[in-house]
Structure 1
Amino acid sequence: MAATNAVLKDGIRNPGPFAIASRAYGTKLLPVALSGLLALAGCSTTTTSNDMITVDRAQGSAENITSLSSVIQSNPQDPEGYNSRGTAYGKAGDFRRALDDFNRAIQLNPQFYQAYANRALVYRNMGKPVDAANDYNRALQINPNYDVALIGRGNIYRQAGRSNEAFNDFSRAIELETTDGRAWHNRGLIYQTRGQHAQAIDDFSKAISLSANSPEPYNGRGISYVALNDDDNAFADFNRAIELNDKLAESWANQALVYERRGDRARANKSYSHAVRLDPNYKPAQDGAARTRGNS
């Protein structure tokens, strides 16, 4: 792989719950008790990031980093070598060394927009969204069509509650024919908060086609199916999310929600309780388990 293509990738992640207030969905209101359980996958206005760098043992291995260091020693003025090693350090979770390498790459080539975007993602993982936004802006000044930076900046806007600007960034990446499913997934979340569930379902479905092994778009699409009272399709999506990753409390709580809507409170309580065991602080699961406890 060419060093200029060394880009830190972040999977589709769920940064935390966002409870929907009771509102009209289609022709009826969701009951208040159930509406709080509809955690929009990945939709939050907190500072929690959904651009989480996934540890890659191969790319972040000591052997790979040693090899990249040898390349740098052979050509210490080549910014691409630092960008590649910085990416490896990021994959290893060594953010300080990753920043050092991206800083050096940018120093050697101030127009290196991939390095700005890589550094931005590290800043996001370090809880520094302002620094990250500045780097994404710089990357887009250099290359306005860089989809990685558009999606990354869109996530920062979305987390900050600037949904219109986030929507525009995701839509622009989609117009550029990005193959990154996060663009559709994240735009789907915004459609969802606007109550535009048909559009959200379309976007989540596209995200699934591009990232079929990620549970988050299945959870997202399932939530919109629930909002449209299509419990069968919602249940299938939540079960698929569990098959892909059975460690996500959200998926189990969402499955429980469908059981509860169907009147099967015993199975609902079992799934809610399992979600609580996975994440004792996940409030939709806590509330659901308390509400269905002692019912059969």
Structure 2
Amino acid sequence: MIAIDRPLEPGVRGSAFRGALFAAASVLALALAGCQSSNPVSDLATVDLAQSSDENISSLTAVINQNPSDPEAYNVRGSAYGRGGKYREAKRDFDRAIELNPSFYQAYSNRALIQRFLGDNAAALSDYNRAIQLNANYDAAYIGRGNLYRLNGRTQDAFADFQKAIQLDTTDPRAYHNRGLIYQSQGQHAFAIEDFSTSISLSPDSAEPYNGRGVSYLAMNDDDNAFSDFNTAIKLNGNLAEGWANQALVYERRGERDKAAKSYAAAVRLDPNYKPAVDGLARTRGA
């Protein structure tokens, strides 16, 4: 099942510098991206690459050259590097931001995600812990740490972090989506559907919560609502192999084996290693 990660966040600062920096960076819009895989490319697959373009990086570098002692400039450029998959460059910028401002909790949280992408989960956890220590109300750090816990099988710890973010009145859809995944894994599909629905209300253009909600509808034998959600997920992201495979499963349950085979085939083309699609295609091929 897919999990959502918001890649990186710029700092928040009420100054004239902030306006100039954000204008140069073009990074005000926060992208939603990701899947449960620890593959960094997958986690950032839907991010607007314009935010990490060479031109944008050059603009950010010019801002840093003019403000070499300002930690926020490094944090924003680090965010842009991270969105572009340049994780080591991103880490260097977050290192510098934290060196300049050891209380910069957003930079710790951003660096934590980069540490995860670099395969250092212990360092990622340490950075999330430090961000929370510096700001106990920072919802993004709880969500990031919760996803790290969930991906490493620490389900109860993950649930507690998502719950904490929601108690803080977060408007971040990841908290609800990822808590919904935990409910779903525990067979609590009514609660999962409620969380996926909240995530959809906060981010209606994201395919993953529709797909997640469809799975829970399917588990409750509500094939019509499941089918509607899978179709919406595919419409929003036609490259979501899981969405095509789930749509195929509904076709198969309806006895429409030819349509099921076509959808399974689409899933296999997108991800030849996705076993539910491979197995489904084998069952329905030649129908």
Q: Which amino acid aligns with 1:158?
A: R
Instruction: Pick one of 224, 246, 261 that aligns with 1:254.
Output: 246
Instruction: Pick one of 56, 66, 73 that aligns with 2:48.
Output: 56
Residue 108 of structure 1 pairs with residue 100 of structure 2 = yes
Give me the whole-angstrom Cα distance separating, in 1, the residues matched to 2:42 and 2:100: 27
Which residue number in structure 2 is paired with residue 11 of structure 1? 32
Q: Which amino acid aligns with 2:34?
A: R
Structure 1-normalised TM-score?
A: 0.84
Which residue number in structure 2 is paired with residue 290 of structure 1? 282
Which residue number in structure 2 is paired with residue 36 of structure 1? none
1:269/1:293 contact within 8 Å kept: yes
Q: Which amino acid aligns with 2:278?
A: Q
Which residue number in structure 2 is paired with residue 265 of structure 1? 257
TM-aligned CA deviation for residue 58 of structure 1: 3.0
Identity of paired residues, percent? 62
2:31/2:48 contact within 8 Å kept: no
TM-aligned CA deviation for residue 211 of structure 1: 1.0
Q: Which amino acid aligns with 1:52?
A: D
TM-aligned CA deviation for residue 249 of structure 1: 1.1
Say which is worse superposed, 127-136 or 234-243, in terms of deviation: 127-136
**Partner SS, residue 11 of structure 2:** helix
Distance 1:259 1:291, change over 3 A: same
Give me the whole-angstrom Cα distance separating, in 2, the residues matched to 1:3 and 1:240: 31
Residue 205 of structure 1 pairs with residue 197 of structure 2 = yes
Say which is worse superposed, 265-274 or 200-209, in terms of deviation: 265-274
1:51/1:152 contact within 8 Å kept: no
For 1:177-224, what per-residue CA distance to the aligned partner results, in whole angstroms no more than 9, with x for missing partners? 111101100000000011100000000000111111111101100000
1:50/1:155 contact within 8 Å kept: no
Q: Which amino acid aligns with 1:293?
A: R
Say which is worse superposed, 57-66 or 258-267, in terms of deviation: 57-66
For 1:93-127, what per-residue CA distance to the aligned partner results, in whole angstroms no more than 9, with x for missing partners? 22121111110111111111000011111122222
Which residue number in structure 2 is paired with residue 167 of structure 1? 159
Distance 1:178 1:7, change over 3 A: farther
Q: Which amino acid aligns with 1:11?
A: L
Which residue number in structure 1 is paired with residue 22 of structure 2? none
Give me the whole-angstrom Cα distance separating, in 1, the residues matched to 2:237 and 2:43: 16
Structure 2-normalised TM-score?
A: 0.86
2:261/2:280 contact within 8 Å kept: yes
Give me the whole-angstrom Cα distance separating, in 1, the residues matched to 2:167 and 2:97: 30
Structure 2 unaligned residues grouped into runs of 5+ = 1-8, 13-26
Number of residue pairs matched?
264
TM-aligned CA deviation for residue 144 of structure 1: 1.1
TM-aligned CA deviation for residue 134 of structure 1: 1.1
Which residue number in structure 1 is paired with residue 268 of structure 2? 276
Give me the whole-angstrom Cα distance separating, in 2, the residues matched to 1:167 and 1:106: 29
Residue 90 of structure 1 pairs with residue 111 of structure 2 = no
Instruction: Pick one of 213, 223, 245 that aligns with 1:221.
Output: 213
TM-aligned CA deviation for residue 247 of structure 1: 1.4
Structure (1/2) with the larger helix percentage: 2
- Alpha-carbon RMSD across the aligned residues, in angstroms, is 2.1
Q: Which amino acid aligns with 2:255?
A: G
- Greater relative CO (CA pairs within 8 A, separation 6+): 1
Q: Which amino acid aligns with 2:214?
A: G
For 1:126-156, what per-residue CA distance to the aligned partner results, in whole angstroms no more than 9, with x for missing partners? 2222221111111001011111111000001
